[in-house]
Amino acid sequence: MLKELSTLPSFYTEPTVHPDARGSFHEWFKASEFESFTGHPFALQQANMSVSQAGVLRGLHFTAVPPGQQKYVTCVAGEIWDVLVDVRVGSDTFGRWEGISLSAENRRCLYIPDGFAHGFAAVSDAVVCYLTSSEYDPNVDYGIDPLDSSLGIEWPVTEPILSDKDRSAPGLDEAREYLPTVEECEQLLNAYKDAWVLANEEAQ
């Protein structure tokens, strides 16, 4: 079931799990549900998996717009606190964050749109899988300090374990020159939707 977040333009899913004597089955991505929310398909270009020990904090990461990068995230072992932050300059919700528990037990998935930074804290040892709409490119990949006091993110780990890169990332205000604007993100979104409409028309 697709559910919208309360404050940011994104969604998470709570799939129907089908258990039997062998184990269980569930759908963790469904194109029709994604398209009904966004108005365009998810252009899968890369699939990633990260393994983290309890206490690890990864992020906050975002991609320049263009080209942009959407993510669709799930936790297949353990539990994480997954966070997205609106970094679209000019947005009514700029700097606002929302977090959600993703775990092997609840099997939720979280969608990260273009123009949003993403990070997570491993509540327990955890394995995270996520789909992305573009391949990783270090030339357009940026980070924000996940502990930036201006964001006030309530991470559920008291002494987070960070990479050197994440530990030295700038705060939100310092990163402003790299941040996408809400207009750039809207233009990219409209391009996705226009291409999807055209593709459907050509298919008829």
Catalytic residues: 61, 130
**Cβ-count burial of 72 within 10 angstroms (0-12 exposed, 13-18 middle, 19+ buried)?**
buried
Mapping DSSP onto H, E and C, the string for 5-45 reads CCCCCCEEECCCCEEECCEEECCCCCHHHHHHHHCCCCCCC
Terminal alpha carbon distance of the chain: 29
DSSP 176: G
What Rg value do the Cα atoms of the chain yield, rounded?
17
191 CB-near residues (< 8 Å, 6+ apart): none
∠ Cα 111 115 120 (to 5°): 50
Contact predicate 106/75, CB 8 Å: no
Strands 46-52 and 126-132, how do they pair? antiparallel
